[in-house]
Structure 1
Amino acid sequence: MIMPGSMPHQIVSPRAFFDIDVGRREGDILGHFHGRAIYEQIRDRAGVRFAFFGLAPVLPDGRVDTAAIGPDQGLVDGTLLYVRQGRSRTA
Structure 2
Amino acid sequence: MQAIARVNRVFRDKPAGLIVDYIGIAQNLKSALSQYSADDQRQAGVDEAEAVAALIEKFDVVKAMYHGFDYASGLAGTGHERLAVLAGAVDWILGKQHEA
Of structures 1 and 2, the one scoring higher in RCO (CA 8 A, sep 6+) is 1
Q: TM-score, normalised by structure 1?
A: 0.24
Answer 1 or 2: which has greater strand percent: 1
Q: TM-score, normalised by structure 2?
A: 0.23
Answer 1 or 2: which has greater helix percent: 2
* Bigger radius of gyration among the two: 2
